[in-house]
Amino acid sequence: MKLAAFKAAAVALVLAVSPASAQDRLLNVSYDVSRELFEKLNPVFAQAWKAQSGRDVTIEQSHAGSSKQARSILEGLPADVVTFNQETDVEMLAKGGMVAEDWRAAFPNNASPYYSMPAFLVREGNPKNINNWSDLARDDVQVVFPNPRTSGNGRYTYLAAYAFALRENGGDAEAAQAFVRKIMENVPVFDTGGRAATQTFVEREIGDVLVTFETETRQIAAQYADRGLVAVTPPVSLFSAFPVAVVTENTDRNGTTELATAYLNWLYSPEAQRILAENGNRVNDETVKAEFADKFPQVELLTVEDVFGGWDKIQSEHLAVGGILDKVFVNR
Amino acid sequence: MTRALLIGLAVVTTAIFVVVPLVYIFVQALGAGWSAYAANIMHPLTLHAIWMTTLVAVIVVPVTVAFGIGAAWLLSKFQFRGRGLLITLIELPFSISPIIAGICYLLLYGRQGWLGGFLARHDLDVLFALPGIVMVTMFVTTPFVVREVLPLMQAQGSDQEQAAVTLGASGWQLFRRVTLPNIRWALLYGAVLATARAVGEYGGVAIVSGSIRGKTNTLPLHVELLFNDLNAAGAFAAATVLTMIALVVLVAKTVLEHRR
């Protein structure tokens, strides 16, 4: 009897979470820390889609590190769209024939509906007065960010510091390397990922400053409001794209190309941009930008293309074995 | 004196490594009160993760038991070439990290894998769907029942079975009336261990699941997902479910150890 009741409950549960097949459905494969963001976005899109097409849509979400996600899609994870935080991972899908070669041209702003940049999170009252990248190289400052070898987040931090130093020193690569090495020496522990680094900084209370994406600094500060952590955006940083793409190889088969395209286009609409901005992401929509102007301080953004000549060059000059990262990442 | 010291050391070690973290899970989960805790557990996606984990265990454990009985029977009653090799192979999952199994399955059944093209042509979902999760979990749990039952069967020999055959018992009668009663506690013990392992499996499943929420997300994966969200209360609430399953298993195991 009990078993029967359990079975009934289980069946009800399955029915409740896997709606009838008459509905449109879309699988959005995303990076590891975007769950709450899309939990807010998806129901609003569902309403918009209903109004536009008269059809119901269920959006399923998968979250993990975006490199792992790209790998899974290549092996058959049936993603209709990807919303990633690393361009290189979309590039991997393009090389594997899952995504159009010219995916950057398919949507505005190089297919990046929102963006961010490495920024700082400091202790209550900013006691060490940390406001710019040069402060991270001071002898009295301990810096926390994840390992640039294993974490895309850490890689952006490394590149942002390097780009800052290049600019400060008029393009002198030697000086830039010395500067980044100094910051690396100020890191007491390199965690493998962004969340572990957050734990180190917040829960274990190690370090004076955590470096992570601006959107993350705000979410962490809000989550641990009782700690009084302060999000600080430096005056200069590195543009970090959050690229999106339709996985055409799958949508052609699923007949979801139109829906997938509509979903990603909708991310550029004012109502979506507002939700994105509310969650600490920078957006391009002029109206929404004006609404949130006082929330986002002015920042001069350098780009991977301008400073480094693109991701391929970063790979060969910085990240490859024996590259610049290996030189400045000593004794680790 | 030495004895007291050793006991003290054992207690302190257990407290540090087991008791304190366990208590901490419940403290954190209930930190925001019972209603917040209940809301976290009753979240549809958390419920679905609980259901997925239950479903996987419900499929995997009976197969492990059936396989365990069959393999133990074969290995204890018959001598044949390659017997030692077979035992080693069956026990291999104990020494291989589940993540290796996950990657092997990914490379074998994936779209770019050996069998991937065949599966795709016939619209068979293995990876990133229930079958893949079940298969990886099965890989991890296979040795548990065999390991418990085999030594017992070997120790008992086949005298009773021979006697039953002499008295005219059929194969099924032999199994049901003689073999099974002899091994039942070991069998249950193995099944309990396999359940615990199936429920807690993370590494291999993480590779083949695709972590689609409300579809292929198991409870351990869900805990990590919530943790990544900075949703510590939700993560700890989901973790208490896993912990309680583990505690039930522990009690079952202790009871069975006495009965054995």
Domain boundaries, chain B: 1-30, 43-259
Q: Tell me what pLDDT residue A22 has.
A: 56
pLDDT band, residue B260 (cuts 50/70/90): low
Query: Measured between alpha carbons, how far is A47 from A81 in angstroms, rounded to an integer?
Result: 19
Q: Tell me what pLDDT residue A149 has.
A: 85
Residue A295 has pLDDT above 60, yes or no: yes
For chain A, what percent of residues have pLDDT higher than 90? Answer: 80
pLDDT band, residue A19 (cuts 50/70/90): very low
Q: Cite the residue boundaries of each domain of chain A with CATH code 3.40.190.10.
A: 23-115+241-291, 118-238+299-328
pLDDT tens readout for residues B58-110: 999 999 999 999 999 999 988 899 999 999 999 999 899 999 999 999 999 99
pLDDT tens readout for residues A240-254: 999 999 999 999 999
CATH architecture group of domain A23-115+241-291? 3-Layer(aba) Sandwich (3.40)
- End-to-end CA separation in angstroms for chain A: 60
pLDDT band, residue A15 (cuts 50/70/90): very low
Residue A14 has pLDDT above 50, yes or no: no
pTM of the model: 0.84
Distance from CA of B88 to the nearest CA of A (A): 31
Distance from CA of B122 to the nearest CA of A (A): 14
Which 3-state string (H, E, C) describes chain A? CHHHHHHHHHHHHHHHHCCCCCCEEEEEEECCCCHHHHHHHHHHHHHHHHHHHCCCEEEEEEECCHHHHHHHHHCCCCCCEEECCCHHHHHHHHHCCCCCCCHHHCCHHHHCCCEECEEEEECCCCCCCCCCHHHHCCCCCCEECCCCCCCHHHHHHHHHHHHHHHHHCCCCHHHHHHHHHHHHHCCCCCCCCHHHHHHHHHCCCCCCEEEEEHHHHHHHHHHCHHHCCEEECCCEEECEECCEEECHHHHHHHCCHHHHHHHHHHCCCHHHHHHHHHCCCECCCHHHHHHCCCCCCCCEEECHHHHHCCHHHHHHHHHCCCCHHHHHCCCC
> Per the CB < 8 Å rule, is B127 touching A76?
yes
pLDDT tens readout for residues A55-92: 999 999 999 888 889 999 999 999 999 999 999 999 99
Nearest residue, CB atoms, A60 vs list B106, B215, B225:
B215
Rounded mean pLDDT of chain A? 91
Chain A residues close to B120, C-beta within 8 Å:
76
Length of chain A, in residues: 332
Q: Tell me what pLDDT residue A4 has.
A: 52
Q: Tell me what pLDDT residue A3 has.
A: 47
pLDDT band, residue A17 (cuts 50/70/90): very low
pLDDT tens readout for residues B187-243: 999 999 999 999 999 999 999 999 899 999 999 999 988 888 888 889 999 999 999
Residue A38 has pLDDT above 70, yes or no: yes
Tokens of A315: 């790979």
Q: Tell me what pLDDT residue A18 has.
A: 45
Nearest residue, CB atoms, B111 vs list A16, A36, A74:
A74
Question: Which residues numbered 79-108 in B keep a CB inside 8 Å of some CB on A?
Answer: 106-107
Chain A residues close to B205, C-beta within 8 Å:
none
User: Measured between CB atoms, does B260 come within 8 Å of chain A?
Assistant: no
CA dihedral sign of residues A276, A280, A282, A285: positive
Tokens of A268: 């550029």
Residue A228 has pLDDT above 70, yes or no: yes
Which amino acid makes up residue B7?
I
* Topology adopted by domain B43-259: MetI-like fold (1.10.3720)
Chain A residues close to B47, C-beta within 8 Å:
13, 17
pLDDT tens readout for residues A118-177: 999 999 999 999 999 999 999 999 999 999 988 888 999 999 999 999 999 999 999 999
Region B169-183: what's the mean pLDDT?
88
> Per the CB < 8 Å rule, is B227 touching A16?
no
Test the B interface: residue of A17, A75, A229 with most B CBs within 10 Å: A75
- This complex has an ipTM of 0.80
Q: Tell me what pLDDT residue A20 has.
A: 41
* Topology adopted by domain A118-238+299-328: D-Maltodextrin-Binding Protein; domain 2 (3.40.190)
Distance from CA of B51 to the nearest CA of A (A): 7
For chain B, what percent of residues have pLDDT higher than 90? Answer: 60
Residue A272 has pLDDT above 70, yes or no: yes
User: Measured between CB atoms, does B211 come within 8 Å of chain A?
Assistant: yes
Distance from CA of A14 to the nearest CA of B (A): 7
Distance from CA of A82 to the nearest CA of B (A): 13
User: Measured between CB atoms, does A60 come within 8 Å of chain B?
Assistant: yes
Q: Which helix (H) or strand (E) holds B202?
A: none
Q: Tell me what pLDDT residue B90 has.
A: 93
